[in-house]
């Protein structure tokens, strides 16, 4: 079998959408499964929509996920350049070739003229039925065309779509899809600014870059008929790649495909990394900054539109590479379910390697002004990992490992604290403070002895210790927590808390 070559071809118009990441992932998986090549190509043919920084963003996002291209701008490869803006002459050469072969033509209609046509007829389409009435090299005298060209008049090159043909596409996901060529318009191939349109550029590049499989979103299915026609016109039909069109990722409420604005609307990320656009409107929080592990996000994305047919849910990238197959990609659109994504993240946090997690959590703690030693941080992570859904939760739910409780759960204090017991608890604090070997085990033994001696119940004492140390009832095992915080810190907190408890229960 010929070596597989697949490309991910985003356009640098802003942050990379999460649906784009899934497309990249599937391309990567299929390439790697067969020992093929994964290529990044930047489709920057729309100068009006070009956004500086977008290309770097795309690369950083791919790398964060571990989807590192084998070829691409900055990645090497002998099929470059990998930015379409740097391949301009190529497209011009091939479109000219098409014109000469009678498969395309020059069109001189101005955008204003076309707009006027559309105003007159909302269904106006530049196709075989009207092309002979418009201003192009098919209708104008040859000298006039030559003159216009020599004069530098604006023109585009359009594909001359043949009449009365059925154009069929073999799609790996959907099977055969057919179009009536009379429904197809004469797509612009080369724009007035000399840049190609997507249609021309992607066909030329896929051919030149020897792409074997095109995996892209379903929004491209309709125009694939044009692409087939182009391969034919260029005489490349035998080298045409196989197509697989992915189901779209839909909004959680099911109304249309997921868009960049939906992140803000529904309160979860739809981008891999945060993006700071020109305006707040155009700025987004990413999966990374939201506290996702890249492995978890990949796992979630992989299962959005594909499944292995087994009951396995958790997959490493390597396992995905082994298991993936285009045949098992789904046809129907897929709702974006953030709860499932969070569940994956939680699973990955629980199972993550300690050293790995340490490096993910350290910067979060540091951002709040604390730089604990590795031993402490490790202990903290082990106590908290089963209680974190996002990385941010380590701080949100465990900040009291680094600083005193900011507040005490008043309801619980009302319920559990009795002012007359302050003396009793001071005594317990004293006993714990004089403990030798401040381990969870020893603390527990001492507390137990105290409880028995005083005729108390665990429920009288443990919540008070927890509240005193953490301020909240939510958290890891209390004695473990105390051991990690250390004798002096715990004693300080307890003494202070008991005073506070009295105030809180006697307003």
Partner RNA sequence: GGCCCGUUCGUCUAGGGGUUAGGACGCAAGAUUUUCAUUCUUGUAACACGGGUUCGAUUCCCGUACGGGCUACCA
- Applying the rule CB under 7 A, the residues between 172 and 191 that interact with RNA are 174-175, 177-180, 183, 185, 188, 191
**Helix, coil or strand: residue 86:** helix
Nearer to RNA, 213 or 226 (CB): 226
Q: For residue 432, how far is the Cα from the chain centroid?
A: 49
**Candidate list 172, 232, 260, 387; residue touching RNA; CB under 7 A:** 387
**Contact call for residue 440 and RNA (CB under 7 A):** no
Binding-site size, RNA (CB under 7 A)? 85
Beta bridge partners of 288: none
Long-range contacts of 393-399 (CB under 8 A, 24+ apart): 393/291, 394/361, 394/364, 394/365, 395/364, 395/365, 395/368, 397/474, 397/475, 398/475, 399/368
**Contact call for residue 410 and RNA (CB under 7 A):** no
Q: Dig out the tokens for 80 from the structure.
A: 């470059």
Beta bridge partners of 158: 105, 188
- 131 phi/psi in degrees, rounded to 5: -60, -30
Any catalytic annotation for residue 260? Answer: yes
**Contact call for residue 474 and RNA (CB under 7 A):** yes
**Contact call for residue 198 and RNA (CB under 7 A):** yes
Residues between 331 and 350 with contacts to RNA, criterion CB under 7 A: 331-335, 337, 339-340, 342-343, 346-347, 350
Nearer to RNA, 11 or 95 (CB): 11
**Contact call for residue 9 and RNA (CB under 7 A):** yes
Nearer to RNA, 180 or 488 (CB): 180
Q: Maximum distance among all alpha carbons in the chain?
A: 111
Long-range contacts of 312-317 (CB under 8 A, 24+ apart): 314/344, 314/347, 317/66
**Contact call for residue 208 and RNA (CB under 7 A):** no
Cα–Cα distances (Å) from 295 to 22, 40, 215, in that order, read 13, 21, 22
Cα–Cα distances (Å) from 42 to 12, 45, 94, 430, in that order, read 7, 9, 20, 67
Q: Dig out the tokens for 59 from the structure.
A: 């690369």
Report in angstroms how near the CB of residue 188 gets to RNA at its nearest: 4
**Candidate list 458, 488, 499, 503; residue touching RNA; CB under 7 A:** 458
Beta bridge partners of 40: 8
**Contact call for residue 368 and RNA (CB under 7 A):** no
Catalytic residue of the set 260, 340, 422, 444: 260
Binding-site string for RNA from residue 347 to residue 366, where x marks contact by CB under 7 A and - marks none: x--x----------------
**Contact call for residue 442 and RNA (CB under 7 A):** no
Report in angstroms how near the CB of residue 138 gets to RNA at its nearest: 16
Window contacting RNA (CB under 7 A); options: 55-63, 64-72, 455-463, 499-507:
455-463
Of all residues in the chain, what percent are helix, strand and coil, respectively (each to 5)?
50, 10, 35
Residue 402 near residue 417 (C-beta atoms within 8 A):
no
Residue 364 near residue 310 (C-beta atoms within 8 A):
no
Nearer to RNA, 156 or 443 (CB): 156
Window contacting RNA (CB under 7 A); options: 106-114, 271-279, 316-324, 485-493:
106-114
Report in angstroms how near the CB of residue 337 gets to RNA at its nearest: 3
Binding-site string for RNA from residue 294 to residue 333, where x marks contact by CB under 7 A and - marks none: ---------xxx-x-x-x-x--------------x-xxxx
Report in angstroms how near the CB of residue 479 gets to RNA at its nearest: 9
**Contact call for residue 210 and RNA (CB under 7 A):** no
**Contact call for residue 130 and RNA (CB under 7 A):** no
**Contact call for residue 222 and RNA (CB under 7 A):** yes
Question: How far apart are the C-alpha atoms of 483 and 449, rounded to whole Å?
Answer: 18
Beta bridge partners of 166: 180
Residues between 54 and 93 with contacts to RNA, criterion CB under 7 A: none
**Candidate list 386, 396, 410, 427; residue touching RNA; CB under 7 A:** 386
Q: Which residues contact 116 (CB under 8 A, 6 or more apart)?
A: none
Q: For residue 21, how far is the Cα from the chain centroid?
A: 5
Continuous H helices in 210-279:
224-234, 261-266
Report in angstroms how near the CB of residue 440 gets to RNA at its nearest: 11
CB-based burial label for 440 (10 Å; 0-12, 13-18, 19+) = middle
Report in angstroms how near the CB of residue 210 gets to RNA at its nearest: 19
Report in angstroms how near the CB of residue 3 gets to RNA at its nearest: 25
**Candidate list 33, 79, 83, 125; residue touching RNA; CB under 7 A:** 125
Question: How far apart are the C-alpha atoms of 202 and 396, rounded to whole Å?
Answer: 47
Nearer to RNA, 157 or 365 (CB): 157
Window contacting RNA (CB under 7 A); options: 29-37, 266-274, 469-477, 487-495:
469-477
Nearer to RNA, 46 or 289 (CB): 46
Report in angstroms how near the CB of residue 377 gets to RNA at its nearest: 19
The residues annotated as belonging to the active site are 260
């Amino acid at each position: 079998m010929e070596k597989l070559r697949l490309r991910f071809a985003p356009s640098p118009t802003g942050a990379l959408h999460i649906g784009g990441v899934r497309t990249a992932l599937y391309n990567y998986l299929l390439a790697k499964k067969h020992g093929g090549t994964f290529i990044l190509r930047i489709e920057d043919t729309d100068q009006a929509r070009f956004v500086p920084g977008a290309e770097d963003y795309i690369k950083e996002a791919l790398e964060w996920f571990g989807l590192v291209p084998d070829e691409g701008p900055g990645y090497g490869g002998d099929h470059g350049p990998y930015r379409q803006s740097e391949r301009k002459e190529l497209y011009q050469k091939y479109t000219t070739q098409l014109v000469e072969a009678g498969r395309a033509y020059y069109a001189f209609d101005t955008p204003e003229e076309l707009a006027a046509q559309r105003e007159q007829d909302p269904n106006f389409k530049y196709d075989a039925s009207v092309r002979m009435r418009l201003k192009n090299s098919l209708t104008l005298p040859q000298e006039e065309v030559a003159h216009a060209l020599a004069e530098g008049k604006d023109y585009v090159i359009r594909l001359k779509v043949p009449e009365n043909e059925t154009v069929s596409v073999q799609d790996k996901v959907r099977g055969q899809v057919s179009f009536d060529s009379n429904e197809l318009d004469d797509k612009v191939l080369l724009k007035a600014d000399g840049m190609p349109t997507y249609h021309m550029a992607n066909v030329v590049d896929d051919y030149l870059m020897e792409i074997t499989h095109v995996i892209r979103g379903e929004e491209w299915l309709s125009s694939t008929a044009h692409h087939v026609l182009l391969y034919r016109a260029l005489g490349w039909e035998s080298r045409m790649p196989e197509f697989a069109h992915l189901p779209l990722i839909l909004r959680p409420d099911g109304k249309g495909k997921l868009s960049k604005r939906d992140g803000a609307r529904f309160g979860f990320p739809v981008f891999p990394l945060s993006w700071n656009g020109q305006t707040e409107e155009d700025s987004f929080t990413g999966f990374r900054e939201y506290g996702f592990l890249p492995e978890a996000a990949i796992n979630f994305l992989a299962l959005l539109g594909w499944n292995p047919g087994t009951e396995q849910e958790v997959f490493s990238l390597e396992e995905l590479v082994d298991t993936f197959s285009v045949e098992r990609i789904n046809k129907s659109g897929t709702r974006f379910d953030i709860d499932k994504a969070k569940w994956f993240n939680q699973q990955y946090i629980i199972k993550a390697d300690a050293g790995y997690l340490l490096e993910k959590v350290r910067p979060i703690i540091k951002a709040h002004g604390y730089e604990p030693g590795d031993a402490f941080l490790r202990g903290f992570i082990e106590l908290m990992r089963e209680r974190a859904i996002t990385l941010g939760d380590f701080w949100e739910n465990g900040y009291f490992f680094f600083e005193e409780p900011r507040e005490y759960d008043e309801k619980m204090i009302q319920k559990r604290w009795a002012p007359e017991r302050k003396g009793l608890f001071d005594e317990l604090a004293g006993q714990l403070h004089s403990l030798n070997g401040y381990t969870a085990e020893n603390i527990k033994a001492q507390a137990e002895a105290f409880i028995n001696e005083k005729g108390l119940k665990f429920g009288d004492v443990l919540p008070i210790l927890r509240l005193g140390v953490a301020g909240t009832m939510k958290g890891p095992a209390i004695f473990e927590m105390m051991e990690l915080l250390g004798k002096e810190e715990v004693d300080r907190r307890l003494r202070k808390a008991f005073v506070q408890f009295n105030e809180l229960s006697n307003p």
